């Protein structure tokens, strides 16, 4: 089932789409553990599960992403969303990858530019922006295409107007829905939503939420994504930084409070960055699948 259809159904039911993100583990025993987690979701299925792309777009990483996405859909009966980055690929390579994805019955793509490797100043391939990939995927056909959006702007963008311009261009290229980068203050997401609708971006926009599991994780995300930390969360991390279990519990509670507020505001969807931790997926789904 295409994810754009899931959003349409949920809108009719006046319910938010609840989705999860996982990533391919580097070790084989991690794959087995991850499948066990997916199976345990059982009766409290998410509306879909997205699978991130392999490290650096490597061949092994690509295969693991497709393996997971295919198994999630066909073995466990949950719709899957296959991430696809294009910064290191040309049109022919992307066409080949999409053919393999289609052959495996996966119908949904999250089209991303991907990170430019350190030391690379020029991109020799056809894809300089995610909108270029979105357009090509739609021209090939057979997929529902999602794209990323950034409540606090992309880390490479200093101009907030540019952020909304790119959002509109992605929709015009064929994006059926958007999933936001993580954020820790809901006001940032509401501001993005207001700006997007004012710019006549009409596709569903899901809020991306990541529970805090460690101080190192937070510092890494701030550097990679440019997400800001509210005072309340800074104090929480400071209070529990030497007690990992209490920090994880407090971080999950903070994230669930964010989700409660988002759902109360009638958002299109909530996308949980689970970091492959079963407790994040299970706690969240049990809370909102009652």
pLDDT at 27: 78
Interatomic CA distance for residues 65 and 124, integer angstroms: 25
Give phi and psi for 178, each to the nearest 5. -125, 145
- Could you tell me if 10 and 79 are in contact, meaning their C-beta atoms sit under 8 angstroms apart? no
Interatomic CA distance for residues 202 and 196, integer angstroms: 8
pLDDT at 54: 57
Tell me which of 21, 71, 79, 107 is the catalytic residue.
21
pLDDT at 52: 94
Going from the N-terminus, what domains does the chain have, and what CATH number goes with each? Answer: 3-288 (3.20.20.220)
pLDDT at 206: 98
Q: Could you read off the pLDDT tens digit of each residue along the chain, which spans 290 residues?
A: 999 999 999 999 999 999 999 999 887 778 888 888 888 877 678 999 999 985 444 444 457 899 999 999 999 999 999 999 998 888 999 999 999 999 999 999 999 998 777 766 666 677 889 999 999 999 999 999 999 999 998 766 545 667 899 999 999 999 999 999 999 999 999 999 999 999 999 999 999 999 998 888 888 777 777 788 999 999 999 999 899 999 999 999 999 999 999 999 999 999 999 988 888 888 888 888 76
Contacts of the segment 62-66: beta carbons below 8 A, 24+ positions apart: 62/97, 64/24, 64/31, 65/24, 66/100, 66/101, 66/104, 66/106
Instruction: Supply the pTM of this predicted model.
Output: 0.93
- Beta-carbon count within 10 A of 189 CB: 25
253 is catalytic: no
What percent helix, strand, coil does the chain show, rounded to 5?
Answer: 50, 15, 35
């Amino acid at each position: 089932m295409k994810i754009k259809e899931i959003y349409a159904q949920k809108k009719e039911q006046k319910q938010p789409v609840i989705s999860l993100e996982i990533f391919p583990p580097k070790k084989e025993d991690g794959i087995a553990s991850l499948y066990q987690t997916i199976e345990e979701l059982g009766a409290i299925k998410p509306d879909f599960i997205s699978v991130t792309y392999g490290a650096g777009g490597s061949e092994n990483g690509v295969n693991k992403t497709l393996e997971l996405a295919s198994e999630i859909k066909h073995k466990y009966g949950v719709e899957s969303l296959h991430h696809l980055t294009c910064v290191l690929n040309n049109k022919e390579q992307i066409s080949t990858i999409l053919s393999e994805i289609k052959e495996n019955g996966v119908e949904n793509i999250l089209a991303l530019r991907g990170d430019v490797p350190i030391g690379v100043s020029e991109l020799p391939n056809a894809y300089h922006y995610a909108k270029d990939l979105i357009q090509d995927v739609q021209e090939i056909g057979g997929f529902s295409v999602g794209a990323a959006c950034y409540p606090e702007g992309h880390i490479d963008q200093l101009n907030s107007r540019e952020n909304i311009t790119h959002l509109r261009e992605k929709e015009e290229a064929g994006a059926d829905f958007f999933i936001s980068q993580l954020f820790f203050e809901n006001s940032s997401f509401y501001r993005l939503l207001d700006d997007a609708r004012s710019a006549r971006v009409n596709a569903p926009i899901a809020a991306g939420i990541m529970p805090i599991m460690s101080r190192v994780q937070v510092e890494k995300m701030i550097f990679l994504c440019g997400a800001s930390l509210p005072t309340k969360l800074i104090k929480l991390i400071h209070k529990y930084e030497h007690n990992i279990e209490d920090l994880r519990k407090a971080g999950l509670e903070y994230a669930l409070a964010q989700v409660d507020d988002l759902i109360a505001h009638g958002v299109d969807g909530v996308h949980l960055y689970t970091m492959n931790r079963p407790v994040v997926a299970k706690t969240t789904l049990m809370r909102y699948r009652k």
